[in-house]
């Protein structure tokens, strides 16, 4: 590992001192980049050709945190090779040639980012993120589920065919990235003892194929996914390049579901067949949950009972009990959220009265505009809560595993997506009063039913704020009460590097249309 999460904890003034390997054949541009990097107090090691780079990487890869490599103009393959040279080192490719397919290929091959020259300070400033991400990625996060990511990737690809003219590249990438279709609503059982996956199956299309996984492109996959995916699906995007689960468990690391979901280790026990290995838990993957939600909505929240839901879900192997349990949790969540919203509403009613301000003020948090980062739940991509207006937009109340990279890193939460600094004790979201009041305007977005607009111009009492803040701290995955959605991975990847942007794009449909 180049840099582990633990290392980061001890890295006091991260990202200062970040060691960057730079390959750029153009001396002038190299000097420029170097000086910019050095201004940020990064340590730069410069190479002027492939060979040098390769040997540097191979011999001393432990010593770099991130590499910036220029595409070789005459010979892309050379560059592609470089990409494969180090699994652990986050590699940023750069080029002055804009070529989508090349970019995609690089990403597919494991590059963490592709930047176009010239490299502005802005582009360079945040390269530390890749180090963070890599570090975190090597610590598997149980909530993460990369199936969704990949599904997402595929969806995206399909969706973008208009844009991506080079379908060949596309299919190539798809091959590399993921050879199989993602099962919808696959259920995973895990063994009671040991964390190895026992089996999985899919329901909708009865193609029960084993999902063999090839170590070698595991990294490629996740990298591609995390960098290039968009938010067609509201599920997660960030996923670790955690190689395999069962084989060796580095540093006593437990296998994350994602790894599990796609790889079947030796004995793949069919849930029905398995006799000895008692299956333990159903993994409510985003897909599975979506099915659940779909069923619940179809039935209507009041009529949604386990047996009916089960029926509608059509997921083989799932039991009524499983559903009942999930339903129970679901209801509790729901209740909780509704209660909280009610509090806010009540509050707003009693204070209130200036008309809602339909604007998107920018609230720079670590240089990023809040409104850019936080999108409203109502316009969730892919499976918008408002697609089906019969019921309440339920998924917004539901934790979306893996969507938030900071999820499992209490100490680093904000850092992982916002600042390189360790979090003080304050909450990442609304530490400042002005943010609180301003955010209220967006609140209306969340309450789309019946009451078109509720707004307040005054601040709620402190207890309420505290409660919200605490809640946000404790459960970063639960939706913010203000109708805002936490940053998606896509946003993180795309927006953070451009740190400083504060332009708001109210393409975001934050308010319910009249």
Partner DNA sequence: CGCCAAATAT
Partner DNA sequence: GATATTTGGC
Do 46 and 30 form a contact (C-beta atoms < 8 A)?
yes
Q: Which residues contact 226 (CB under 8 A, 6 or more apart)?
A: 133, 149, 237, 238, 239, 489, 493
Q: Which is nearer to DNA, 227 or 255 (CB)?
A: 255
Do 253 and 137 form a contact (C-beta atoms < 8 A)?
no
| Continuous segment of H or E residues that includes residue 23 | strand 19-23
Q: Which residues contact 9 (CB under 8 A, 6 or more apart)?
A: 411, 412, 422
128 vs 119: CA distance, rounded Å: 15
85 vs 79: CA distance, rounded Å: 10
Residue 254 Cβ, how far from DNA at the closest point, in Å? 7
Q: Which is nearer to DNA, 230 or 262 (CB)?
A: 262
Q: Which is nearer to DNA, 114 or 284 (CB)?
A: 284
Q: Which is nearer to DNA, 65 or 326 (CB)?
A: 326
Residue 422 Cβ, how far from DNA at the closest point, in Å? 21
Q: Which is nearer to DNA, 142 or 500 (CB)?
A: 142
User: For residue 368, what is the DSSP state?
Assistant: B
Q: Which is nearer to DNA, 251 or 328 (CB)?
A: 328
Residue 458 Cβ, how far from DNA at the closest point, in Å? 30
132 vs 4: CA distance, rounded Å: 8
For every residue of 230-259, DSSP letters joined together read -TTSSS---------SSS--GGGPPPPHHH
User: For residue 423, what is the DSSP state?
Assistant: P
Residue 460 Cβ, how far from DNA at the closest point, in Å? 22
Q: Which is nearer to DNA, 319 or 352 (CB)?
A: 319
- Write out the two tokens for 121: 């300070």
Do 215 and 242 form a contact (C-beta atoms < 8 A)?
no
Residue 183 Cβ, how far from DNA at the closest point, in Å? 17
Residue 322 Cβ, how far from DNA at the closest point, in Å? 4
Residue 325 Cβ, how far from DNA at the closest point, in Å? 2
- Write out the two tokens for 193: 């003892």
148 vs 286: CA distance, rounded Å: 7
Q: Which is nearer to DNA, 125 or 291 (CB)?
A: 291
Residue 142 Cβ, how far from DNA at the closest point, in Å? 6
Cβ atoms < 10 Å from Cβ of 60: 12
68 vs 461: CA distance, rounded Å: 49
Do 188 and 268 form a contact (C-beta atoms < 8 A)?
no
Residue 6 Cβ, how far from DNA at the closest point, in Å? 19
- Write out the two tokens for 173: 């990438």
Interface contacts to DNA, rule CB under 7 A: 142, 190-193, 254, 278, 280-284, 305-308, 320-322, 324-329, 331, 399, 474-475
Q: Which is nearer to DNA, 16 or 281 (CB)?
A: 281
- Write out the two tokens for 370: 């809040």
Residue 15 Cβ, how far from DNA at the closest point, in Å? 30
Q: Which is nearer to DNA, 190 or 404 (CB)?
A: 190
């Amino acid at each position: 590992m180049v840099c582990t999460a633990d290392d980061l904890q001890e890295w006091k003034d991260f990202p200062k001192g970040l060691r960057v390997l730079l390959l750029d054949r153009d001396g002038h541009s190299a000097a420029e980049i170097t000086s910019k990097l050095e201004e940020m107090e990064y340590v730069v090691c410069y190479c002027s050709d492939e060979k040098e780079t390769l040997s540097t990487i191979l011999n001393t890869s432990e010593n770099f945190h991130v590499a910036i490599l220029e595409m070789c103009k005459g010979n892309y393959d050379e560059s592609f090779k470089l990409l494969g040279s180090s699994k652990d080192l986050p590699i940023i490719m750069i080029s002055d040639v804009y070529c989508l397919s090349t970019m995609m290929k690089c990403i597919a091959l494991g590059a963490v980012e592709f930047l176009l020259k010239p490299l502005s300070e802005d582009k360079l400033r945040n390269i530390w993120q890749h180090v963070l991400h890599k570090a975190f990625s090597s610590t598997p996060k149980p909530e993460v589920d990369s199936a969704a990511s990949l599904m997402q990737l595929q969806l995206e690809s399909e969706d973008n065919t208009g844009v991506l003219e080079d379908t060949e590249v596309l299919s190539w990438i798809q091959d590399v990235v993921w050879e199989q279709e993602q099962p919808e609503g696959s259920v995973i059982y895990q063994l009671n003892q040991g964390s190895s996956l026992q089996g999985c199956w899919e329901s909708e299309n009865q193609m029960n194929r084993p999902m063999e996984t090839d170590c070698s492109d595991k990294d490629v996959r996740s990298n591609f996914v995390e960098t290039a995916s968009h938010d067609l699906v509201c599920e997660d995007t960030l996923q670790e390049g955690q190689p395999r689960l069962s084989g060796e468990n580095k540093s006593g690391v437990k296998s994350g579901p994602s790894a599990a979901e796609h790889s079947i280790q030796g004995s793949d026990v069919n849930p029905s067949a398995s006799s000895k290995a008692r299956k333990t838990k159903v993994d409510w993957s985003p897909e599975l949950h979506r099915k659940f939600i779909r069923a619940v909505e179809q039935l209507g929240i009041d009529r949604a009972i386990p047996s009916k839901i089960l029926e509608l879900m059509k997921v083989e192997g799932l039991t009524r009990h499983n559903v009942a349990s999930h339903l129970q949790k679901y209801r509790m969540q729901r209740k909780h959220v509704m209660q909280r919203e009610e509090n806010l509403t009540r509050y707003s009613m009693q204070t209130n009265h200036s008309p809602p301000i339909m604007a998107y003020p920018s609230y720079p948090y670590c240089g990023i505009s809040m409104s850019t980062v936080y999108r409203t739940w109502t316009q969730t991509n892919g499976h918008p809560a408002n697609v089906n207006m019969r019921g309440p937009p339920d998924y917004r109340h539901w934790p979306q595993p893996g969507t938030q990279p900071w999820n499992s890193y209490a100490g680093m939460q904000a850092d992982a997506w916002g600042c390189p600094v360790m979090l003080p004790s304050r909450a990442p979201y609304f530490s400042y009063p002005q943010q609180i009041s301003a955010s209220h305007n967006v609140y209306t977005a969340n309450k789309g039913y019946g009451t078109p607009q509720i707004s307040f111009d005054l601040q709620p009492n402190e207890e309420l704020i505290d409660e919200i803040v605490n809640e946000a701290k404790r459960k970063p995955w639960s939706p913010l009460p203000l109708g805002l959605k936490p940053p998606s991975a896509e946003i993180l990847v795309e927006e953070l590097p451009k740190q400083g942007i504060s332009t708001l794009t109210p393409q975001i449909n934050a308010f319910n249309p009249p």
